[in-house]
């Protein structure tokens, strides 16, 4: 019989190795004993698994602990437990303590050594079957815990029922729970090393979770590998046109329920809308599970789980397919920089600062009141890199936009002197985070066609350079400097713009130092910053004209494009995540005109290789007029490297200029106006250069330092595109 000390430890939930006592065991004399801990059971009978015959009834000692010596058996055998419950009901069950260790020594060794970058294949909850027994394998990393149990609706949330086996070489706890099934709720009950019982913890590797405010993890199937469609691989390359429509899924439109739309509701409307406007990609703000709506998903606790706000995960799979069916790519916002300190999450997961840095000068984010991942810890790195590969490999998304990279790169990010710890070299760079990002990008780079985009706001060198060249390995970097400079310029009254001319030209000094994406994101239209339309000076006519001219400038400028939802039809108020976009504005032709312009800009951008093929190379751009600050005019040539060209001209004052001489490159006899943001079709004054078949003939009249020119009408507050005939 089990000694009282072991029994007391089991009943108190503090036994260090429950598998050594529960289940089927031989004593020193070679006799077999079976022991089970089933609080709430009235009686338990041991059955032969093959024949179903009764072997022996177990004796109830106390607290739901039953045991018996097995008669006439000398070797291990498969058995079942027939249980009558005190509250009524009965059943026949396989015993979780009659199963061997679940995870192989090799995979655990790889995890401990930092060689397992798909840890989601081992950890978390996985439906498995052994013979005729179907159940769920649970595993979690908690190396400093004294005891870990999985609790859920399958065991009445009782931590005594399923204490897990510790695999010491990796600090991983595991158990196979027979008869647990897909759809079951679960958490981990953890006793810290000091004996304290922690709040129930959600599974860091959960692939599905309850809708907030509930926080349990949900057993769900592992998605099948989903490779990118072949055409998507080509569409994500640097030479391709990439124009991204950024979406907050919860507020693009409201669902039929009046709250969050389902994935199927989004799939029905969003991809078709984005494709009709000519964008090439959809980018979703974080849709991984998060507790607080107001964080917009950027304070995530479920790096492997699509949010329950939009329905079950299989709906997300249908949404991804709908996006690809429209010929679009899908990018997801991904947040490896920090996580919230909610008690059910990663914070002090096993009673120690496991996922986060221990010292708050490294591990606490002052701006967001969140915790910072310990980027140097082997298992944390695998957790993060595994999440990146999971979304791409298992859901088939095209890539990730990585949030808050700047906060990861610098140890003194938003910290005053004395509140940060230098690196081992005495510098301010976070060497562990830099190493993590490089390693993540290398693993993503192994997936054919997948891309990563960095939101990085500093001048850190080589963000989009390959890791073998010393870079971070991202495919693209958001050009935050360009965005800030040009928006400051546009906010100026046109009469003052002559004094700020360099804000529009400065970006070309460094435009080809990275593979840049030009972002007008959600961050520019919240927190009192106003909408894009409200940033523009002047009366209503001038606001719309300024905005149209700016969009033309942006689409003609080197760099991939990103526009946040609602700005394509000139939303008047800043974005509010609690409300749907004001679609009724499209009944006003001024707003509909801006939408038509964005559609045509995307069409022009995609159809003319000169506007995208050499976005990241100096050979794709040449100034015609960069210094006409007096008239606030900018003009340049875009090239594709094969002889194709597009000329872009911007007039950023409300003064129309008829008969304007524009210097043009050699080798073309006539040019025609391809797009004019002042067209009446978009809501402008309709001053322009016509669409005559003969176009605008090239004259042997010098202008802008060139021997040839064309004479154009330059509308007020407008951007024009010209292509050769």
Q: Assess contact for 226 and 232: CB atoms under 8 A.
A: no
Residues in a beta bridge with 358: none
Of these residues, 107, 455, 485, 615, which one is catalytic?
A: 455
314: tokens are 């299989």
Closest CA to 353 of 196, 142, 190, 203: 142
State yes or no: is 362 an active-site residue. no
Taking the CA of residue 577 as centre, how many other CA atoms within 13 Å lie in the half-sphere pointing to its CB? Answer: 17
d(CA 150, CA 180): 11
At residue 376, φ and ψ (nearest 5 deg) are -90, -10
Please name the residue that has the structure tokens 């010292």: 359
Q: Where are the alpha helices (DSSP H) in 429-497?
A: 431-445, 480-491
State yes or no: is 628 an active-site residue. no
Neighbours of 639 (CB within 10 A): 20
Please name the residue that has the structure tokens 């693993």: 443
Closest CA to 78 of 51, 41, 56: 51
Taking the CA of residue 180 as centre, how many other CA atoms within 13 Å lie in the half-sphere pointing to its CB? Answer: 30
CA dihedral 50, 149, 300, 366 (to 10 degrees): -160
Sign of CA dihedral 369, 374, 375, 381: negative
Assign 80 to helix, strand or coil. Answer: strand
Quote the longest CA-to-CA distance of the chain: 110
Please name the residue that has the structure tokens 């199937």: 221
Of these residues, 403, 432, 514, 673, which one is catalytic?
A: 403
d(CA 120, CA 392): 13
Give me the numbers of helices (H) and strands (E) for the chain, helices first please: 15, 36
DSSP letter string, 93-121? E--GGGS--SS-HHHHHHHHHT--S-GGG
Phi-psi region of 170 (alpha: psi -120 to 50; beta: other; left: phi over 0): alpha
Strand ranges inside 153-293, DSSP E: 165-167, 172-178, 185-191, 217-218, 243-247, 281-284, 288-289
d(CA 80, CA 653): 84
Residues comprising the chain, all counted: 725
Helix axes 105-113, 378-395, angle to 10 degrees: 110
444: tokens are 């993503």
Closest CA to 161 of 174, 149, 148, 153: 149
415: tokens are 């910290």
CA dihedral 542, 546, 547, 548 (to 10 degrees): 100
577: tokens are 């995540």
Closest CA to 278 of 583, 596, 564: 596
CA dihedral 705, 710, 715, 721 (to 10 degrees): -90
Q: Assess contact for 698 and 708: CB atoms under 8 A.
A: yes
Residues in a beta bridge with 129: 134
Peptide bond into 127 cis (omega under 30): no
H/E segment holding residue 55: strand 54-57
DSSP letter assigned to residue 538: S
462: tokens are 């080589």
Residues known to be catalytic: 403, 455
């Amino acid at each position: 019989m089990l000694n009282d000390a072991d029994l007391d430890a089991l009943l108190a939930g503090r036994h260090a190795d429950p598998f050594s006592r529960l289940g089927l065991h031989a004593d020193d004399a070679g006799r077999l004993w079976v022991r089970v801990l089933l609080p709430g059971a009235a009686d338990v009978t041991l059955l032969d698994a093959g024949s179903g015959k009764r072997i022996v009834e177990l004796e109830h000692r106390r607290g739901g602990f039953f045991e018996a010596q097995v008669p006439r058996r000398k070797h291990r055998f498969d058995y079942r437990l027939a249980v009558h419950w005190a509250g009524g009901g009965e059943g026949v069950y396989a015993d979780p303590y009659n199963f061997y260790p679940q995870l192989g020594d090799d995979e655990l060794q790889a995890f401990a050594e930092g060689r397992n970058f798909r840890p989601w294949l081992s950890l978390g909850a996985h439906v498995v079957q052994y013979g005729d027994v179907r159940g769920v394998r649970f595993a979690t990393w908690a190396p400093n815990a004294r005891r870990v149990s999985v609790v859920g609706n399958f065991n009445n949330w009782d931590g005594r029922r399923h204490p897990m086996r510790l695999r010491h070489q990796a600090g991983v706890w595991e158990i196979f729970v027979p008869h647990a099934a897909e759809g079951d709720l679960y958490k981990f009950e953890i006793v810290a090393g000091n004996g304290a019982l922690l709040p129930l913890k959600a599974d860091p590797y959960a692939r599905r979770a309850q809708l907030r405010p509930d926080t349990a993890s949900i057993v769900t199937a592992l998605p099948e590998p989903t490779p990118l469609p072949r055409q998507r691989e080509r569409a994500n390359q640097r030479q391709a046109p990439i124009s991204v429509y950024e979406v907050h899924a919860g507020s693009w439109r409201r669902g039929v329920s009046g709250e969050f739309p389902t994935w199927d509701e989004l799939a029905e409307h969003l991809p078709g809308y984005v494709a009709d406007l000519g964008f090439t990609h959809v980018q979703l703000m974080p849709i991984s599970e998060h507790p607080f709506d107001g964080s917009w998903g950027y304070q995530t606790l479920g790096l492997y789980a699509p949010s329950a706000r939009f329905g079950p995960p299989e709906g997300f799979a249908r949404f991804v397919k709908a996006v690809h069916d429209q010929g679009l790519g899908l990018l997801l916002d991904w947040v490896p920089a920090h996580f919230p300190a909610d008690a059910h999450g990663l914070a002090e997961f096993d009673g120690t600062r496991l996922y986060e840095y221990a010292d708050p000068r490294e591990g606490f984010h002052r701006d967001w009141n969140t915790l910072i991942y310990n980027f140097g810890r082997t298992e944390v790195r695998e957790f993060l890199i595994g999440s990146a590969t999971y979304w791409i490999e298992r859901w088939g998304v095209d890539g990730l936009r990585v949030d808050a990279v700047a906060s990861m790169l610098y140890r003194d990010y938003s910290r005053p002197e004395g509140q940060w710890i230098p690196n081992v070299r005495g510098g301010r760079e976070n060497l562990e985070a830099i190493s993590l990002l490089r390693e993540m990008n290398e693993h993503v780079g192994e997936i054919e066609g997948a891309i990563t985009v960095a939101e990085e706001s500093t001048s850190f060198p080589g963000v989009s350079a390959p890791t073998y060249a010393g870079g971070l390995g991202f495919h693209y970097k958001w050009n935050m400097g360009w965005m800030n400079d040009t928006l400051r310029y546009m906010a100026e009254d046109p009469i003052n713009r002559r004094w700020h001319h360099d804000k529009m030209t400065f970006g070309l000094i460094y435009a080809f130092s990275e593979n840049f994406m030009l972002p007008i994101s959600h961050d520019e239209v919240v927190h009192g910053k106003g909408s894009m339309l409200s940033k523009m000076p002047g009366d209503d006519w001038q606001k719309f004209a300024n905005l149209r001219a700016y969009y033309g400038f942006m689409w003609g400028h080197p760099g991939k494009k990103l526009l946040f939802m609602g700005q394509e039809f000139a939303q008047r108020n800043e974005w509010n995540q609690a409300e749907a976009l004001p679609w009724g504005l499209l009944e006003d032709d001024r707003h509909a005109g801006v939408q038509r312009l964005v559609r045509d800009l995307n069409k022009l951008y995609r159809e003319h290789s000169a506007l995208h093929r050499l976005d990241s190379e100096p050979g794709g751009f040449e100034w015609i007029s960069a210094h006409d600050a007096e008239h606030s005019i900018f003009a340049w040539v875009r090239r594709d490297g094969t002889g194709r060209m597009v000329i872009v001209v911007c007039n950023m004052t409300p003064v129309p200029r008829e008969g304007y001489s524009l210097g043009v490159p050699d080798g073309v006899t006539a040019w025609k106006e391809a797009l004019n943001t002042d067209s009446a079709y978009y809501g402008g004054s309709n001053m322009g250069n016509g669409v005559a078949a003969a176009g605008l003939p090239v004259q042997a009249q010098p202008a802008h330092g060139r021997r040839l020119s064309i004479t154009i009408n330059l509308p007020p507050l407008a951007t024009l595109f010209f292509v050769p005939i």
